[in-house]
Amino acid sequence: MSQFGTEFCDHFSIARYSDGAWQASNIIPLAPLPMHPAAHIFHYASTCFEGFKAYRWQDGKARIFRLSDHVARMQKSAASLRLPVPDADLLSGMVTDLVGHHVGDIPEPPSSLYLRPTLIGTLENIGAAAAPSTEATLFVLASPVGDYFAGGAKALKLLVDDQRARSTEQLGSTKTGGNYAAALGPTLEAKEKYGVDQVLFCPDGDVQETGAANFLLISDDEIITKPLDTTFLHGMTRDSILKLGAETGYKVNERNFTVAELIDGVSRFEAVLSGTAACLSPVGALVYKGEEIAVRDGKPGPNAAKLQKALQDVQYGLAPDAHGWLTEV
């Protein structure tokens, strides 16, 4: 299968907001969106998006993972950007209709259909830097994606940056394009300078997250990760792993921790990145103050593998969905 995010189903769903109301959505053939060059999005970054997956089970039906939670996160993002907030029913209907339209295009697990709702401000006004976009377009893309680890899970190397933040306090928990733009420069710089895969942003020593994933420490009986605040994105994978972890006997410790504690802890704790695309990605080494520090033996750890399997078993229909996380289509 082609590279993650580069292949698309041939239809997408679209709805527009104008004159103070959302119009009905349509599924139409995938095509470029004609847009006025003065559209708010191009100038003032009025955009937010979501990313989650639908799986096709052996019964031929699709199951969307944590649909209502992703819709709620999108609504929160939209509100924080002062964009028109899509109704939950509108957005979840657009997603389920599109998944229904493309059930036959969903590859079997561990492959899936990645769904990308996107909301953009379309007000034609280049003088609206300090004014919200009162017009908007909402669309949902569907993209068949393969197993992220088809080539085998490789342990990642992270640069620990104890100065810079990935985002800001206002927008850290908003899934908006500008945050990814902000992380891009530091990440490319770190790749070039230290040969790392990602940057772990730890402003003032506070361990937060990487450019596009949450960060967790896992031992045989404990999971440690930053508690929810406005500085980082509230990942659904993080939340699911914490819930499944607690049920399988891990002590879940949502607390702030410092770079010093992290460096001290990685001889005992496994470290992982969590996110929809890759589920849990093992971290094998950290680079801090120019020095490379192994995470345990530098290899993917057994606890992360066990927790990842527990989550994927629910997603693939191999374990009961005790939390009602799946929406059948």
Ligand X SMILES: Cc1ncc(COP(=O)(O)O)c(C=O)c1O
- State the distance between the two ends of the chain, measured CA to CA, in whole angstroms: 24
Q: Is 275 in the site for ligand X (CB under 6 A)?
A: yes
CB nearest ligand X: which residue?
A: 235
Does 214 contact ligand X by CB under 6 A? Answer: yes
What is the Cα–Cα distance from 239 to 245, expressed in whole angstroms?
A: 10
- Paired residues of 214 in beta bridges: 209, 274
- Residue (102 or 226) nearer to ligand X, CB: 226
| Residue with smaller CB distance to ligand X, 123 or 218 | 218
Considering the complex, state which of residue 123 and residue 272 has its C-beta at the smaller distance from ligand X.
272
Which of 15-23, 137-145, 250-258, 271-279 is the region at the interface with ligand X (rule: CB under 6 A)? 271-279
Site membership for ligand X, residue 276 (CB under 6 A): yes
Residue choice 62, 160, 218, 236 for contact with ligand X (CB under 6 A): 236
DSSP per position, 105-155? GPPPTTSEEEEEEEEEE--B-TT-TTS--S-EEEEEEEEEE--TTTT----
> Does the footprint of ligand X cover residue 237 (CB under 6 A)?
yes
Nearer to ligand X, 39 or 182 (CB): 182
Any idea which residue has 């001889």 for tokens? 267
User: Whose CA is closest to 5, among 156, 198, 122, 180?
Assistant: 180
When the beta carbons of 225 and 303 are compared against ligand X, the nearer one is 225
Q: How far is the CB of 38 from ligand X (least distance, A)?
A: 29
Restricted to residues 42-81, the positions that interact with ligand X (CB under 6 A) are 51
Q: List, in order, residues 6 or more apart from 56 with CB less than 8 Å away.
A: 62, 63, 103, 106, 107, 108, 109, 112, 113
Footprint of ligand X on this chain (CB under 6 A)? 51, 209, 212-214, 233, 235-238, 274-276
